[in-house]
Structures are given as structure tokens and as C-alpha cells.
Structure 1
Amino acid sequence: MRKWIGFLIVLIIAVIIGYNYIYQDHRDIERETAEFTVLSSEISELFADNSITAEQKFLNKTIEVSGLISDINTNTITIDDKVFCQFSEQIETALDKNDNVKIKGRVIGYDDLLEQVKLDQCIITNQK
């Protein structure tokens, strides 16, 4: 009987630990401090020169990127055709193409085909 109770306690603890590991809290990029502040041309050049080293440095890190808007849609902004920024919610701003912008987001990778650094969970930190 004691073996079953011990086994049951160990099983319950394992389930609780597993649940907490799988369902971790999501990061709040808006409240995080950017680890790096770079120009879009700088980060794009780093990824183009050596994507492995750049990914080790920037991947899953919060960064702040600045440059000129080359494309803007309801949920995305492209900066200088080099950095693709995806927003969690619809963008509600009066920004247009060729406006200066500073965006904070999480680096999720580099698209070799389009030669763009990809960010998600982005927020606009400075407009014009």
C-alpha cells in the first residue's frame, strides 16, 4: 500500500513539473529591454556575411531596429527591404512608406531567399 502511495505522489509531482514546463508563460516583448539596438542595414549585413554566427548572437533575443519603412501592411512593416517585422495586433498608426521608424521585436530567424531578418511580437517604439 505504501508503495502505491509513494508511486502516486511521484506521478503527481512529475505531471505538475511537466505541465509547467510545457505551458510556460509567454514573453512580453513590450516590457523587455532590448539587448541590442541596431540599424536595419547593420543587422542585415551581419546575417548575410555569416548567418550562423549572427543567429547565435541574435536568435530569440529582443532587439530594437531602426530605418526607413519600405513596405507597410495591416500586421507587418518591412524596414529598408532588410528587416521584416510582424506585429501581434493590427498596426494603428499614421506611418507611411519612407518614414523613419524604430521597432522592437524578437528575432526569429533569417530568410536566405528574401535576404531579410525576421522579427515577431513587434511594437513601434519611436515614430517619425
Structure 2
Amino acid sequence: MKRNKIYIILLVVILAAYFGYNYIYQEHRDISAETADYTINASDFIAEFINDSETAQTKYLNKTIVIHGDITAQTDNSITLNTSIFCSLLEPNTISQDTIVSMKGRCIGYDDLLEEIKLDQCTLTKINQ
């Protein structure tokens, strides 16, 4: 009888370790290949966060989003749309400022201090001249 309990405990420990390992070491998401959960204009997106940031974060957090907006600031690895949406790029930036673009990325949150919405793994989907 004691031996059966040891086997059951050992089985539970092995299963917990297996599922724990798979949970921690999940494959990374390929945001550029995913279908967007939301497609939205940058000014509407910003307005949702300004009006009720908690509800907007619940709605958009960790979702794939396509945003249409105007490039207001840029570096080699990031673009800011409409002065309030910071997009961290997967590839270096070659787009000129004051261009209207569509960016696809994953929403990672809202920074109350800087009043910026943060997106990562962003890729350019369309340039509107």
C-alpha cells in the first residue's frame, strides 16, 4: 500500500514538472504572422486609453493590433504614432517622418507617467502617402 502512494506521488511530481516546464518555456508568438484582433485609427485608440485606461488595457493587452496613424517621432528601432503610441520595431526603420502608416504589433500596456501606449514586435503593414 505504501508503495502505491509513492508511485502516485512520483507520477504527480513528474506531471507537474512537465506542465510547468511547458508553461514557462512556451514558443514565442510571431505577431507579424497573426491575424489582427483589432484594426483601429490611432486617434480613436488613444482616446479609449485617455477616457478609461483600465477598460482599454483589459480589452487590448497582449492582443495583436493594426493601428493607422501619422509618424511623429522615430529612431532606428522605434516609431511613435500620433505622439502617444510607441511602437518597438522588429526591423530597422527606413520610413520618413510625417508619413501615414499602418503598424501591426502587440499591445503591452499603457504608461501613465509618459501617457504613451506601448506596442512591441511591430511591423509596417502599409504606407499611405
Q: Same fold (TM over 0.5)?
A: yes
Give the total of aligned pairs.
126
**Cα displacement string for residues 84-110 of structure 1 (whole angstroms, at most 9, x for unaligned residues):** 0012x34153x1110111100011111
Tell me the TM-score normalized by structure 1: 0.89
The gaps in structure 1 that reach 5 residues or longer are none
2:12 is paired with a residue of what secondary structure?
Answer: helix
Alignment partners' CA distance in 2, 1:49 and 1:92: 31
Tell me the TM-score normalized by structure 2: 0.88
State the identity as a percent: 45
The gaps in structure 2 that reach 5 residues or longer are none
What residue in structure 1 maps to residue 92 of structure 2? 91
What residue in structure 2 maps to residue 71 of structure 1? 73
Letter of the 1:106 partner, please give it.
Answer: R
Alignment partners' CA distance in 2, 1:72 and 1:12: 49
Letter of the 1:111 partner, please give it.
Answer: D
What residue in structure 2 maps to residue 7 of structure 1? 9
Once the 2 structures are TM-superposed, how far is the Cα of residue 46 of structure 1 from its aligned partner? 0.7
1:30 is paired with a residue of what secondary structure?
Answer: helix
Stretches of 4+ aligned residues off by more than 6 angstroms: none
Once the 2 structures are TM-superposed, how far is the Cα of residue 111 of structure 1 from its aligned partner? 1.6
Q: Does the Cα contact within 8 Å between 1:44 and 1:115 map onto a contact in 2?
A: no
